[in-house]
Structure 1
Amino acid sequence: MTNRTTRLALPVLLAGGLALSACSFSGGTEDGEASSSPTTTAASSPTTPAATTAAAPSSTGSAPAVTAAPEPSGADPTTAGGPDRCHTSELTGSLAQGDAAAGNRYATLTLTNTGGEVCTVYGYGGIGLVAQDGSAAPTQQVRVDPAPRTVTLQPGQAVASTLHWTVVATGSEPTTGDCEPTPGRLTVIPPDETDSLSVTWSYGPVCSAGQIEQSAYVAA
């Protein structure tokens, strides 16, 4: 090869080698970028657990249900829009002894409208015996017929309810002496009221754990 030929061939060889080096570097750059970029898959994202809500305690289960016999509330439909019910502050109570037979005792509980307005009474209300020392005496109110009816009271008029109880010891009650503490008063809550009034009780102990049958109030 002549000197001129050598000078011509050298640039060509150098150019070819540079071209091959450029291709190889380019490929290495792409692979490096691909490996440095994080691959995101479904598995790489944490799985969100399903929401779990603990059951709140039931408001009705958290406390025992009321077992007392419900008090009829409201007035007879025929008197809707009529006079208001008689409030405790408008009533005066009294108690009168009734017949007695074979261990059974009766009394009549009367509520008189001593207010200045016409009012109504409907239902049974509540009763409770009070011992002579002021403590509560055993009392079980049992509501019996007749069924409640609305009674309209002019000032001075009254309603009456019959009370019935036994003086014969039952169960584990002592058969000598008093079967239960002797009451001195009877607390009376008029129908649909929360305030009470008091009447004197002078009829001795009420046996059978203080059970008193009471009829609904009727016109006296």
Structure 2
Amino acid sequence: MAKKSPSVHRTALLAGTAALLGLLTACGSGGGSGTASSPTTLPGTAAPATDGGTSAPATATDSATQSTGPSGEAASAKPSKTATSAAAAASGRCHTSELRASVGRNDPGAGQENFPIVLTNASSRTCTVRGFPGAAFVDASGKQLGPDPKRQSGSTPTTVTLAPGRSAWAGLTFSNPEVSGAHPATPAALLVTPPDERASLKVTWTGGQVPVSGNSSSVFLTVFSPGSGA
């Protein structure tokens, strides 16, 4: 049998070694026992998926949140709440203990007496009032004089945001007893209850006589508006 030359023998040996290395590499890459590759870091911040599925990478911004729709296209950006509405939502309503009540100066006209009921935020936080106050005239012993005031029809409530020290006012109006002929009384105080509260604030009444019974004895209230009503 013919002998192979040394060069041919070395070439065959190298080829066999390369084939063996290739086989070992292929086996190592197909199983789960090999060394795990490093995790891939995707750019941006992961935003919650709108359909409850896997989060898709997206860049978060202060004014909008972007998500990926079923078609793979970016959904339209949804604007966030404005700073004003967000602050109002976070503040919550004003509680009686955080407020100071007063009655402003009368602004009479055409036989009507018109007083502003003023609530001032005496707390260190921003809060809100919305709607009608509660009110009742009382004598020196605390007994109520006349029926409960009525709410003025056509008044549309709005949310009034009160920073510390700021005020809101609601109108209290009635016909002058001398003009209407109603039976009058002179209250010692006016009890004022903020919207959605149960506790009242007591204000000394200096506005003179009020109608408590008989003809045109009704007292009316309006919703709160910003300011002091002056």
What TM-score do you get using the length of structure 2 for normalisation? 0.54
- The alignment status of 1:109 with 2:122, answered yes or no, reads no
Q: Which residue of 2 aligns with 1:156?
A: 165
Choose which of 111, 121, 132 in structure 2 pairs with 1:124: 132
Structure 1 stretches of at least 4 aligned residues deviating more than 4 Å after TM superposition:
77-80, 169-173
* Match among 132, 137, 144 for residue 145 of structure 2: 137
Superposed CA RMSD: 2.5
Aligned to 2:149, the other structure's residue is in SS state strand
- Aligned residue number for residue 180 of structure 1: 184
Is contact 1:110–1:160 with CA below 8 Å preserved after alignment?
yes
Matched, 1:219 2:223: no
2:195 pairs with 1:195: no
Q: Does the Cα contact within 8 Å between 1:170 and 1:208 map onto a contact in 2?
A: no
Q: Superposed, which structure 2 residues align to 1:64-75 within 5 Å?
A: none
Maintained 8 Å contact 1:168/1:208:
no
SS in structure 1 opposite 2:105? strand
- Structure of higher CA gyration radius: 1
State the SS of the aligned residue for 2:199.
coil
8 Å CA contact 2:135–2:149 kept in 1: the answer is yes
Q: Which runs of 5+ in 2 are unaligned?
A: 1-84
Tell me the number of residue pairs that the alignment of Structure 1 and Structure 2 aligns. 139
Cα distance, 1:200 vs. partner?
1.5
Q: After superposition, what is the alpha-carbon deviation per residue over 1:102-127, rounded to whole angstroms, capped at 9, x for unaligned?
A: 43111111000000111010111210
Task: Return the structure number with greater relative CO, CA threshold 8 A, min gap 6.
Answer: 1
C-alpha distance 123-136 of structure 1, shift in aligned 2 (>3 A): same
Q: CA 1:183/1:154 → structure 2, altered by over 3 Å: closer, same or farther?
A: same
CA-CA distance at 1:78 after TM superposition: 8.2
- TM-score normalised by length of structure 1: 0.57
Q: Is the 8 A contact 1:95 1:199 kept in 2?
A: yes
Q: Which runs of 5+ in 1 are unaligned?
A: 1-76, 174-178
Q: Report % sequence identity.
A: 33
